């Protein structure tokens, strides 16, 4: 069983959703990222998505775009992301997801990326702009290296797309809460229960996590009652951006109540 699957099993026993956090690797510097990961580990995060900075992040809102710019300006490369992952693997208990656009991985070569990612301590890979229809030639390389493969579905995904994404996924199926780019929102979309219900039908026994726009404990709790995992990215990255003088402490403080909000009552447990 992978670390990702173990995280979902453990959370299920504890009657809560898995708390999944996102950081852009190398933001604000390669040296800072492992410390931020340690802060998230202390706050109770289960799974960390470590994002590879990319010059054309079409799915990202302003917060993550700025983070990618800072990371690239600091000289972050894919090799550097692997070095950061090795430190995080040594220093935390987090399950690690390599979160990337496809272009940086293609430049290195998919097979080489898969081998190096596994050697660096990653447990899974999520390629945000790789649709299931184009993934069949790439997914086996990741799986043969022992990495879970996570795919995205959204409110606009038809049943066939959701089923295709679920069949290629292991670890969990990632439900994008709304169309558009990443970024904190005041509330979750009204149709999210229907979207997650459709994703569950496609996923069958595979866990379902929801992200994009979750920024407050109230929203995290609402999401935790619907899905098996809750993903928070922009809110955490924005907190790090605001709190340069005490970045790690601020990230830990902001993540802890989000983690606590992932708890469910007995009636909500799945």
Q: SS3 of 61, please?
A: coil
**49 annotated active-site:** yes
Distance between CA 84 and CA 64 in Å, rounded? Answer: 19
Query: CA geometry: angle at 89 spanning 87 and 92, to 5°?
Result: 100
Q: What CATH number has the domain bearing residue 153?
A: 3.20.20.70
What's the pLDDT score for residue 47?
98
What's the pLDDT score for residue 266?
47
Number of domains in the chain: 1
Count the neighbouring beta carbons within 10 Å of the beta carbon of residue 47: 27
Domain interval for residue 204: 3-268
Distance between CA 201 and CA 166 in Å, rounded? Answer: 10
What's the pLDDT score for residue 186?
64
The model's pTM = 0.94
Q: What is the CA radius of gyration of the chain?
A: 17
Beta carbons within 8 Å of 245's beta carbon, 6+ residues apart? none
What's the pLDDT score for residue 36?
98
List Cα–Cα distances, 55 to 59, 60, 65, 76, 114, in angstroms: 12, 11, 9, 11, 22
Containing H/E element for 229?
strand 229-232
User: 99 forms bridges with which residues in the sheet?
Assistant: 51, 126
What's the pLDDT score for residue 12?
96
Of 60, 123, 148, 228, the catalytic one is: 60
Report residues of the chain scoring pLDDT below 50: 266-267, 269-270
What's the pLDDT score for residue 190?
87
Q: SS3 of 221, please?
A: helix
Of 27, 41, 49, 239, the catalytic one is: 49
């Amino acid at each position: 069983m992978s670390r990702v699957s173990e995280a979902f099993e453990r959370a299920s026993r504890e009657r809560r959703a898995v708390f999944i956090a996102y950081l852009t690797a190398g933001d604000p510097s390669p040296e800072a990222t492992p410390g931020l990961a340690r802060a998230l580990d202390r706050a109770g995060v289960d799974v960390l998505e470590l994002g590879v900075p990319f010059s054309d992040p079409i799915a990202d809102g302003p917060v993550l775009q700025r983070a990618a710019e800072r990371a690239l300006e600091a000289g972050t490369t894919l090799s550097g992301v692997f070095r950061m992952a090795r430190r995080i693997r040594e220093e935390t208990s987090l399950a690690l997801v390599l979160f990337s656009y496809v272009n940086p991985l293609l430049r290195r070569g998919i097979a080489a990326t898969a081998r190096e990612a596994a050697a660096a301590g990653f447990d899974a890979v999520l390629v945000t702009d790789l649709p299931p229809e184009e993934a069949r030639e790439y997914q086996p390389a990741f799986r043969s290296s022992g990495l879970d493969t996570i795919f995205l579905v959204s409110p606009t995904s038809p049943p066939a797309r959701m089923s295709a994404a679920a069949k290629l996924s292991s670890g969990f199926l990632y439900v994008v809460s709304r169309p558009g780019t990443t970024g904190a929102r005041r509330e979750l979309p009204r149709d999210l229960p229907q979207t997650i219900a459709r994703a569950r039908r496609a996923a069958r026994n595979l866990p379902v996590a929801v992200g994009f726009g979750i920024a407050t404990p109230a929203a995290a709790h609402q999401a935790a009652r619907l899905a098996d995992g809750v993903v928070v990215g922009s809110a955490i990255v924005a907190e790090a951006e605001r709190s340069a003088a005490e970045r790690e402490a601020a990230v830990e403080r902001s993540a802890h109540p989000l983690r606590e909000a992932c708890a469910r009552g007995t009636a909500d447990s799945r």
